[in-house]
């Protein structure tokens, strides 16, 4: 297994401090703060540790403060409800004595019921599509160093967009996109692990969809973005080490916020999960451009 994927699995295996309290570490993937998907995956992992015989079917989360990559994160789980079929957990992530994130997750005893689903979009398959990290050197030399590190760093997942994005000379595009996603190696047969990893990867690409119709100049360092909330519904089992199509659309942007939705399909066309997210999207003037993650203008 690749080192970066094994490291992610270890990040999701939280340390138990005492009943309902767990601790996780962080990694710098090149973002300005702790990656939101990491906190989502760890929070869901903490909730999973307090539930038996039930599978997660939804989570709803708010990002309250920027996460500090140099400090551990403590997750406190409230066992809000254990009913005959459903269990609800509330999770608060804490750093430096303050909550940075909260989440409610619901779990259900597996059962049969009525079924229907959306149809998988007809797009090219992943074979032959370049990975998002396959960027010509001439393009990389024209983006900021920190952005370059984020774009080219080793990742635990492959990302193959059906239509690549031009970071240097962005153009206004239709309000939708499709990306094939798969973990870089085969994973253990642990449904909870696959759900935790799906929560992790569900934060990639989502908010950025809301910028597609505007052709924003990311390479100039004048675009400020931060996730505000995140919702994820698990519809059907899936393996994140097999190709999944993540289809995004953005029905709205306004008030310095962008809104995007996603559907995650298995290669066979089963709708595995749905997502929704709203986030801060600001375009600053050149004189206001934040050049360092500690810049107070990056605070939400």
Please tell me the predicted confidence (pLDDT) of residue 295.
37
Q: What is the mean pLDDT of residues 263-270?
A: 98
Looking at residue 20, its pLDDT comes to: 98
**Please, which pLDDT band fits residue 33 given cuts at 50, 70 and 90?**
confident
pLDDT-derived band at 170 (thresholds 50, 70, 90) equals confident
What's the pLDDT tens digit per position in 172-182? 999 999 999 99
d(CA 57, CA 268): 21
Kindly state the average pLDDT of the residues 215-231.
88
- Catalytically annotated residue among 203, 224, 263, 274: 203
Q: How confident is the model over 99-108, as a mean pLDDT?
A: 98
* pLDDT value of position 287: 41
105-150 pLDDT, tens digit each:
999 999 999 999 999 999 999 999 999 888 766 766 766 676 767 7
> What is the structure's pLDDT at 144?
67
Domains and CATH numbers, the chain: 3-109+125-298 (2.40.160.210)
176 compared with 27, residue with greater pLDDT:
176
**Residue 299 pLDDT:** 40
Let me know: does 75 contact 25? Beta carbons within 8 Å: no
pTM above 0.85, yes or no: yes
Q: How confident is the model at residue 31 (pLDDT cuts 50, 70, 90)?
A: confident
How far apart (Å, rounded) are the C-alpha atoms in residues 264 and 273?
Answer: 5
Catalytic residue among 42, 87, 263, 277: 277
Per-residue model confidence as pLDDT tens digits over 243-265: 999 999 999 999 999 999 999 99
State residue 146's pLDDT score: 67
Query: What percent of the chain has a predicted confidence (pLDDT) above 70?
Result: 90
Q: Kindly tell me if the per-residue pLDDT of 291 is higher than 90.
A: no
Specify whether 227 is catalytic: yes
Please provide the average confidence, as pLDDT, over all residues in the chain.
90
The first and second tokens of residue 292, run together, are: 């360092």
Ramachandran bin of 221, using left for φ above 0, alpha for ψ from -120 to 50, beta for the remaining angles: left
Q: In the structure encoding, which two tokens stand for residue 70, read together?
A: 């140099």
Q: What's the pLDDT at 32?
A: 73
Structure tokens at 91: 């999770």
Q: Which of 87, 227, 247, 274 is catalytic?
A: 227
């Amino acid at each position: 297994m690749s080192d970066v994927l094994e490291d992610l699995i270890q990040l999701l295996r939280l340390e138990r401090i005492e009943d309902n309290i767990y601790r996780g570490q962080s990694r710098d993937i090149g973002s300005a703060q702790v990656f939101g998907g990491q906190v989502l995956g760890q929070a869901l992992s903490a909730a999973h540790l307090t539930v038996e015989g039930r599978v997660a079917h939804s989570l709803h989360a708010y990002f309250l403060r920027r996460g500090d990559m140099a400090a551990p994160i403590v997750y406190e789980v409230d066992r809000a409800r254990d009913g005959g079929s459903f269990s609800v957990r509330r999770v608060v992530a804490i750093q430096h004595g303050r909550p940075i994130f909260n989440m409610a997750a619901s779990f259900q005893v597996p059962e049969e019921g009525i079924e229907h689903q959306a149809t998988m979009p007809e797009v090219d398959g992943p074979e032959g599509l370049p990975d998002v990290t396959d960027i010509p050197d001439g393009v990389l030399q024209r983006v900021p160093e920190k952005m370059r590190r984020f774009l080219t760093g080793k990742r635990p997942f492959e990302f193959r967009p059906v239509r690549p994005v031009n970071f240097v000379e962005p153009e206004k595009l239709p309000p939708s996109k499709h990306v094939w996603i798969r973990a870089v190696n085969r994973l253990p047969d642990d449904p909870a692990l696959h759900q935790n990893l799906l929560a992790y990867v569900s934060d990639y690409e989502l908010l950025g969809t809301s910028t597609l119709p505007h052709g924003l100049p990311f390479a100039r360092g004048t675009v400020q973005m931060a996730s505000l909330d995140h919702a994820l519904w698990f519809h059907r089992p899936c393996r994140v080490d097999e190709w999944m199509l993540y289809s995004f659309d953005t029905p709205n942007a306004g008030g310095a916020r962008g809104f995007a939705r996603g559907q995650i399909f298995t290669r066979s066309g089963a709708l595995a999960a749905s997502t929704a997210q709203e986030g801060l999207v600001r375009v600053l003037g050149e004189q206001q451009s934040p050049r360092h993650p500690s810049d107070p203008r990056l605070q939400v």
